[in-house]
Amino acid sequence: MQRRKLGNGGPEVSAIGMGCMSLGTVYGSAVGKDEAIALLRSAFEAGVTFFDTADAYGPFTNEKIVGEALAPFRDQAVIATKFGFDIDLGPGERIGGGTNSRPEHVKAVAEASLQRLRTDVIDIFYQHRVDPKVPIEDVAGAVKDLIREGKVRHFGMSKAGANTIRRAHSVQPVAALQSEYSLFWREPEREILPLLVELGIGFVPFSPLGKGFLTGKIDEMTIFDLADFRSTVPRLTPENRKTNFVLVAVLDRIASGKECTLAQLALAWVLSRKPWIVPIPGTTKAHRLAENLGASLVELSPDDLLEIDAVTSSIELSGARYPEALQKLVGR
């Protein structure tokens, strides 16, 4: 597995990381604990050194699984987790308290996450969502304190807007930004990527396979489980999937010519954008893990990239990427 450095001051990690959220219930039924641990260890054995989790995944159970799975080789793995929500363990064990990035809460979350992850330091500590009630300078200052104390190595932000990133970076350098980015969602190219270049911040795209749409396994006939988050995504309604499948068709043709899968082409394209971009596809299946990691071996020539841009630039995709209520929580 090739390795990449996240920005100017971030850690060196495997070129493809592993998003662990899908091991929970966000895409339907959760994976069993033993199966999840085996998958994470298989990923490490295959060369993955970068693992992404959050206190909100589960909640809490995802961090525990990641901590147990990586304990035998903790010193060789880079673990990222997140803070930023009040978690209400009421009916259904859901996030119900809204955002909370008050400094005292950030520090309390760090202590709890360290315990669940079975470690004495968090490699990247992301603010999961920008909290409009707390100045970002105070949030960055809290993480700066944790870094001074040796409990956190790097500060990260997730789904934040350009101005907020710039303000946070002036207090505590941001090592990495995590946001959605793929051939299915290219909005970060407008403002975010130029800012990351300017400030030397690494980029960690989640959903680099368009929430599974860029695998070619989802079409208008696919029925999502009611517990699957994708059943609420406007861009993935049956009508919009039918319209948007034209993107899959043209990319699948290019992938056939490269003798790789559609998913591998989509991941290789993300990798080609910048040398400090590290996608974190998630999966629950060993064969999909192997397929994803194979994308690091797919070489896209300048002509390949021009062709991809040419055939996709005229395709207008339908539907928002989030329901309206969730869209209000990102890009702030």
Secondary structure in 3-state letters for the chain: CCEEECCCCCCEEECCCEECHHHCCCECCCCCHHHHHHHHHHHHHCCCCEEECCCCCCCCHHHHHHHHHHHHHHHHCEEEEEECECCECCCCCECCCCECCCHHHHHHHHHHHHHHCCCCCEEEEEECCCCCCCCHHHHHHHHHHHHHCCCEEEEEEECCCHHHHHHHHHHCCEEEEEEECECCECHHHCCHHHHHHHHCCEEEEECCCHHHHHHCCCCCCCCCCCCEHHHHCHHHCHHHHHHHHHHHHHHHHHHHHHCCCHHHHHHHHHHHHCCCECCCCCCCCHHHHHHHHHHHHCCCCHHHHHHHHHHHHCCCCCCCCCCHHHHCCCCC
- Cβ distance 260 to 268 under 8 Å? yes
Whether the ω angle into residue 59 lies within 30 degrees of 0, i.e. cis, is: yes
- The CA distance from 282 to 288, in Å, is 9
The catalytically annotated residue of 57, 126, 181, 322 is 57
* Residue 322 annotated among the catalytic residues of the structure: no
Using CA atoms, how far apart are residues 120 and 104, in angstroms rounded to an integer?
19
Report d(CA 90, CA 60) in Å as an integer.
14
**Taking the mean position of all CA atoms in its chain, how far away is CA 267?**
13
Active site residues: 57
